[in-house]
Amino acid sequence: MFDLDAYLERIGLDGRPSIAQVHRAHLTSIPFENLDPHQGLPVSLEVEDLERKLVTERRGGYCLEQNLLLKAALEALGAEVDMFLARMRLGAKPGVVRPRSHLVLHVRENGASWHADVGFTRGILEPIPFGPGPTQEQSGWSFRVVEDGSELVLQRLAGDEWADVYSFLPQPVPLIDVETSNWWTSTHPHSLFVTGLIVGVRGDDGTGTLLCDWSELSLSEQTPAGTSVTPLEREVIPELLSTRFSLPGFTLAADGRLVLTNAG
């Protein structure tokens, strides 16, 4: 049985909050991080393992973990939830087709139909109406969903232009397909989640903070007005994880990877 009370306490809520309240509280309370694949540890998508890691141990996770935990919580609150696998488009080079490794949720409750996603720190803060529609303004950010052939595309306004974030076929997928994507994402030697480091949080005001070494190690602050980037030395990461991302207990190993030293 999903421990809804423990989950709500983790994200600072209680009672019977709305889907929008749960979505924003989850996104701003549980950090995005790939520290398990970074350490060479495969990721489990079993709900009890997600509860233990993200709720009890107060860790974070990447999109598949985050959105499956949200799915379990919203279903415990009485909603119906379908899963879709998406391809990230943001930052992709022309002609590059990325794998379907991002998870998006379709949530239905009391006749309403919502697009939900707490697994992307530069994405929506609250659910938006599912499918193509008008621009959605959230804490200074602008989002919309458009059609591209048979796919739906989430876009974010960047300056004066719309930028694709990710695309997906609006066809629900079974858990086995999500597990297959998770296996590739958390174990394949060419996966950026195995070879690199990415940790992110979202503030209550919508500001995003991202620690990443996919190109060079840096800390970025993202607001609707723009992004500032600060290069970093690797030695400062454990302190940043603790103070900026609420992820204490990590130290640098001799090979430069981060390891959790306070497990158990």
HEC letters along 216-234: CCEEEEEECCEEEEEECCH
Instruction: Give the residue among 248, 255, 249, 220 at the shortest CA–CA distance from 234.
Output: 255
> In the chain, how long is the greatest CA-to-CA distance?
55
**Residue 211 token pair:** 């620690």
Catalytic residue among 26, 36, 115, 117: 117
Instruction: Tell me which of 102, 106, 115, 212 is the catalytic residue.
Output: 102
Determine whether 148 is an active site residue. no
User: Is 117 labeled as catalytic in the residue annotation?
Assistant: yes
Does residue 102 have an active-site annotation? yes
Alpha-carbon separation of residue 145 from 112, 154, 184, 188, 221 (angstroms): 17, 5, 27, 31, 25
Do the beta carbons of residue 144 and residue 155 sit within 8 Å? Answer: yes
Q: Which of 36, 38, 63, 115 is catalytic?
A: 63
Beta-carbon count within 10 A of 22 CB = 25
* Active site residues per annotation: 63, 102, 117
